[in-house]
Structure 1
């Protein structure tokens, strides 16, 4: 995939899964996929809650992906250029809302369990 192809494909990616890590109340993982390109590609990264309703990537230099980026001559781009292009692709995604929603759902599930586990209140 060339750099322009990645830039064009990134906004069309869809969220495959976003979840809160087990044992954590404030961090998780997002996986986004492109189901249009051939071959298909994915991006995965960790994130953490920074402030209420605000999430950020744990480390912008850390991600998982099967994207093989080449230049106009078909040569692999440098690791730093790949990192820059991948970060640009992630920036084009609306992943923050999915992460915040996952955190909110986790908190709601905890609240329901706490209410259920507290049993009937003496009255």
Structure 2
């Protein structure tokens, strides 16, 4: 058998095995209430969700304007994307994270949060 065919069979088997393992692990994890969260974006968002949230005055003004609400912030912390080029920098004895998400009206927003060891400070919310 030629090398090309052996390589193709190997890669196909590896792919099927990987799919089976991911499906099996995900099924077991969902029974126990555990998330499969190994990628950097997922890990940062999970860390931010796990801490108590404090709201700074500029963010409170945006929330009072009623174009964004706390449910939009929670959804952005679950399904949003962390902009790592602007994030993970030391800022006021914590680390700053910029998260891009959407409101319930499908408007794009940018959330700036400061991650401390025991809390998260919602610093500002901006429309894109």
TM bracket, shorter-chain basis: 0.3 to 0.5
How does the TM-score come out when normalised to structure 2?
0.31
Larger radius of gyration: 2
How does the TM-score come out when normalised to structure 1?
0.32
Question: Which structure has greater helix proportion?
Answer: 2
